[in-house]
Structures are given as C-alpha cells and as structure tokens.
Structure 1
Amino acid sequence: MTAEREVRFLEVRNARKSFASGNRQIEVLKGIELTVDSGKLTMLRGRSGSGKTTLLNLMGGLDRPTAGEVWFRNRPLHQWGDKQLTVVRRREIGFIFQSFALLPLLTAWENVQLSLRMAGIPRTDWQARTEKCLDLVGLTKRMFHRPLELSGGEQQRVAIAKAIAHRPLLLLADEPTAELDSRMAAHIISVFKDVVEAEGIAICMTTHDTALWGAADVVYQMVDGRIVPA
C-alpha cells in the first residue's frame, strides 16, 4: 500500500485557474506547485499579470481552482463550499490588500476592534488584544488617530494590526508595499518579520519590488502563470 503524501501547513498542488473571456477560456494559472510553512515569510514575486493575486486568492479560499488542489492544515479548500470557506477565513486567515481597507471615520483602535467584533472574539478580550496588535506594529502613540491623520506607512501598519487581531494562523498580503516609498516598504517588511516571530504565523505576500526579496525566508518567482526557478 502506498503511504499517503504528507500535507504541509499550506500546499498548492498542480493548481490551474481559467476565466471566461467572450468565447475563450484564459488560463491564468498553469499548474502551480507551492508550499507555505508556518513561522516563515514567503514571497511571490513577479510582474503584474503573472498570476500572483489569483494564486493568493486560491490560497485564502477567496476562489477555487479550475483544476488541482489547495490544502490548508490538512483540509481540502478546493472541495469546500462557501459556508465552510467563510468560517475558515474568519477564524484562521488574515488578509491585507493593496488598498488599506480602513474605515475613515474610525480611529486605528476602532478599526482593529471592528475586526475582533466581526471575528466573534469575546468583548472581554478586545482591549488587551487591540493594544497588543497596535504595539506590535509600532503605533502605540497613534492608536487614537483616524486614517487621514496617519501616513501611508502608518495606515498599512493599522491594516496589519487589523489583519492579525483575531489571531490567524496565515496572513496573506497582496502587494502591501506597492503604494509606499522604499524606506516605508522596508519598514513594513520589518514589521512582518516581527509579526512572524511574535505570533508564530505564516505570512505569504506578493511583490514586484526587487529590494524586498532578500528579507523573505522563501521566494517563489511567477512568470505567465507558472512558478519558475528564482
């Protein structure tokens, strides 16, 4: 009898993704093989249009592959329905998008607490967890400022605090430094490293910024929907 294949923390197996365009099917992902390990910072590098965001969406259960498999903690996300995927996203996965996705009328503190409320975290835990997350990203002195009172880098740090507030096991970040200058981008990566160490989670982010690649534990290069040698 053949032994079952070991499943990593997050594993993508021969994933393909196609989208309809008129009478044609456009294949965006073409047989992706990838693993992400807990406690590491993984980067997907590549030009715009290489398929990075589509792959990240599959890994986070925001979309399903046309073919192939996506396993998260020994569970087949590619087979799950919308209700199951919603539960795992709320409890175990955090997301950071290119836009900061902060509510402009709420302070940094209130934005983070809103994510705790939506995740169903008991109210008794809100204050301590909010303080810890904002301190971790270096915003202790700015936690009661609204987004428009914060710099771009500070807003992104609020987004990170918000994304990790419910203690996810996996954080997925789509071009989180795209709107920042090189100094602030490097600072955000430093924050990511601190989060990995302090929270013991896995972070997988997309980027086309060559200056950031050296900070990653693992780098995958994407070209035209495929993983190629870095």
Structure 2
Amino acid sequence: MAQVKDESFLEVRNVHRSFWSGGGRVDVLRGIDMSVPSGALTMLRGRSGSGKTTLLNLLGGLDRPSAGEVLFKNRALHQWSDRQLTVIRRQEIGYIFQSYALLPLLTAWENVELSLRMAGTSRTQWKERVARCLELVGLTKRMHHRPSELSGGEQQRVAIAKAMAHRPHLLLADEPTAELDSQMAAHIIAIFRDIVEAEGIAICMTTHDSTLWGAADVVYQMVDGRIVTQ
C-alpha cells in the first residue's frame, strides 16, 4: 500500500448531477463529498446504476455538475471552458475505458506514442518514455503487435500504458477489469499499484468487484447516487 498523504489534489464538494428524460428529472448524484489523495489508489465501489461512472466523468472534466464544486489542484473544473478542459485532459489527466480505446491500425508502441504526440511532449522523450511504459505493464515483447493480435488483458495493458505515457497527475479508470477474468483482473490491479509506487500517479477507478477492494488505499461505497461509507 502507498502511504496516503494528507493533502488531496482533487476535491468534490456537495456535487449533484441530474438529467432530464421523458419521465422528468433523474437525480443521478445526490450531494457527493469526497477527495482523491495524491499518490494513492482510490476505488469507487457500487452496483450498476449507483452513479460511479457519472462521478468519474465529473472528476475528469468530461461532464459538469448540476450543483456543487469539482476542484482539481484548487482549480474549479466545472467553471473552465471546453478548450481549457481539453488542455488539462491532454496534459494532466489520463483515461482508461472498458472499451480500451486503441486505434486498430497502430501497434502497441504507436498507440502509446500517440498519447505523447497529443500531449505535446518533446519528440526526444518519446522512445524512452514509450519503452518505459510498456515495460511497466509487461508488454515489452508485444510492443509491435496491433490490438487484434493481442488478448483482452494485453489490450487493457496497452490502454494503461497509453494513459500514463504523458505523466499525468491523475489516472481515471472506468471498470477497467469488468471484461477480464479474475486472474487478469488481479494482474491489472497489481500494475496499478506499481504505477502508484513507481510513478507517483494517483489512480481513481470504479469497480463492482469485491475481490479488488482490499488493494486500494481509499474506498468509497456508493449507493443510489450517494457515498455511504469510506
């Protein structure tokens, strides 16, 4: 386990998120208060429909709250323009999705390198950084394979390497082990722990898998759009 620092660089204060549908207003988040500490693995746990993914989208500036505040390094993300949020997402936040989000015609190496291109990282750093990230996720021998030539677990590891390549302060992962068997899921979590320890990157992920919770530094239990326990 990482030694969780007292300071938090991501704060959520009394956040609500509602959507309108044909049947009226749907309250997905109902007064969320939480924080993500630096250099730690944080998990949002709960059943499907508890609001985990909606909250994760707010943490990364992919959505805006209906009320309340989301503060990233003392900056109110919900008040920033779309252009400003794009810069933050490309340079300071990494995303890992269930669908892997890899470009099928690019090799593992090229997919990770693309993240550095988009973040504006100096070209002189690309080779060393891509090699480092693929080594950290255990894919050195598979770096020249395309996604179709990789297993689901290997594709997820490429996605992790891609998300961390530009040295973000925060990695957000939405159910990153949902499509994997228990052995590979445990392996992915072990990689997350290595990233936290070796890179100092904070990771916040959603999961409904109770076998993974013990690996986290901080766990928030979500029920019906509320956090009920920490």
What is the TM-score when the length of structure 1 is the normalising length?
A: 0.96
Percent sequence identity over matched residues? 77
Distance 1:7 1:109 in 2: 35
Which residue does 1:53 correspond to in 2? 53
Range that drifts further, 42-51 or 146-155: 146-155
Q: Is the 8 A contact 2:92 2:168 kept in 1?
A: yes
CA deviations on 1:23-69 (whole Å, 9 max, x unpaired) are 61111000000100111000000011100000000000001100000
Which residue does 1:3 correspond to in 2? none
Structure 1 position 7, deviation (Å): 7.5
CA deviations on 1:72-125 (whole Å, 9 max, x unpaired) are 111111211111111111110000011111111111001001111111111111
Q: Is the 8 A contact 1:7 1:74 kept in 2?
A: no
Which residue does 2:62 correspond to in 1? 62
Structure 1 position 135, deviation (Å): 0.4
Which residue does 1:15 correspond to in 2? 15
Classify the secondary structure of the residue corresponding to 1:9. strand
Which amino acid counterpart does residue 177 of structure 1 have in structure 2?
T
Distance 2:89 2:183 in 1: 31
Distance 2:222 2:90 in 1: 28
CA deviations on 1:173-196 (whole Å, 9 max, x unpaired) are 000000000000000000000001
Which residue does 2:196 correspond to in 1? 196
Structure 1 position 8, deviation (Å): 2.7
Distance 2:205 2:176 in 1: 7
Which amino acid counterpart does residue 194 of structure 1 have in structure 2?
D
Which residue does 2:43 correspond to in 1? 43
Which residue does 2:152 correspond to in 1? 152
Distance 1:7 1:140 in 2: 35
Classify the secondary structure of the residue corresponding to 2:69. strand
Q: Is the 8 A contact 2:7 2:38 kept in 1?
A: no
Distance 1:142 1:83 in 2: 36
Which residue does 1:209 correspond to in 2? 209
Which residue does 1:223 correspond to in 2? 223
Distance 2:157 2:109 in 1: 12
Which residue does 1:75 correspond to in 2? 75
Are positions 1:166 and 2:159 aligned together? no
Q: Is the 8 A contact 2:7 2:37 kept in 1?
A: no
Q: Is the 8 A contact 1:50 1:223 kept in 2?
A: yes
Are positions 1:178 and 2:181 aligned together? no
Gaps of 5+ in 1: 1-5
Provide closer, same or farther for how the CA distance between residues 81 and 54 of structure 1 changes in structure 2, counting only shifts above 3 A.
Answer: same
Are positions 1:140 and 2:154 aligned together? no
Gaps of 5+ in 2: 1-5
Distance 1:7 1:82 in 2: 27
Classify the secondary structure of the residue corresponding to 2:19. strand
Which residue does 2:113 correspond to in 1? 113
Which residue does 2:104 correspond to in 1? 104
Distance 2:75 2:198 in 1: 26
Figure out how many residues of one structure are paired with residues of the other and give that number.
Answer: 225
Q: Is the 8 A contact 1:52 1:206 kept in 2?
A: yes
User: What root-mean-square deviation, in Å, do the aligned CA atoms of Structure 1 and Structure 2 show?
Assistant: 1.2
What is the TM-score when the length of structure 2 is the normalising length?
A: 0.96
